[in-house]
Amino acid sequence: MADLGKTFSGRVGIADMPRLAEVVLDCSQGEAELAFDRDGRKRVRLRGSVKATLTLACQCCLRPLQIPLESRLSLALVESLDEAERLPDHYDPLLLEEPRIRLLDIVEDELLLSLPQVPRHELDECVCDLPHETTQDPAGREEPAGRNSPFAVLAELKHK
């Protein structure tokens, strides 16, 4: 692919990305473009961009919150951790653990890495009456258990 200078582009949706589907409510307008080539030192690299509008649950009022994300990536394909450590800073390593790579996995990883740790509305858009420092329910009830979101786990940690 790198020797041929191949570029791949297309739309991606929530149905393509099961790991992302576990932590977001929806993913719309997902698009990715990824291009293989070699740099001056013959390293295989994969560069491109990923963008999508993700819908997450606000960690204050738990209502949906849309977050547009756009991320550029510059990966160098490596076959060992030693090789990864020798990469210049402008590359992120993509460790080849199998003979094939799945581009959708790369797109999904990129979106997962771009997620805000604690998604919440702007103060004036949030319907929650609480000060934004806490996620506790005003009536002191348990947090809705809801989905298996890592953000729910974060909220739990915060209580402790």
Smallest gap, in angstroms, from Cβ of residue 59 to Zn ion? 8
- Judged by beta carbon, residue 44 or residue 61, the one nearer Zn ion is 61
- Distance, in Å, from the CA atom of 8 to the CA atom of 99, rounded to the nearest integer, reads 19
Q: What is the dihedral of CA 125, 114, 18, 61, to 10 degrees?
A: -20
- Distance, in Å, from the CA atom of 36 to the CA atom of 2, rounded to the nearest integer, reads 5
- Judged by beta carbon, residue 91 or residue 151, the one nearer Zn ion is 151
- Judged by beta carbon, residue 56 or residue 60, the one nearer Zn ion is 60
Footprint on this chain of Zn ion (rule: CB under 5 A):
58, 60-61, 121, 126
User: SS3 for 101?
Assistant: coil
CA-wise closest residue to 95 among 107, 104, 82, 108: 82
Q: Give the list of residues 6+ apart from residue 95 with CB closer than 8 angstroms, or none.
A: 78, 79, 80, 81, 84
Smallest gap, in angstroms, from Cβ of residue 116 to Zn ion? 13
Smallest gap, in angstroms, from Cβ of residue 25 to Zn ion? 13
- Judged by beta carbon, residue 62 or residue 87, the one nearer Zn ion is 62
Smallest gap, in angstroms, from Cβ of residue 30 to Zn ion? 23
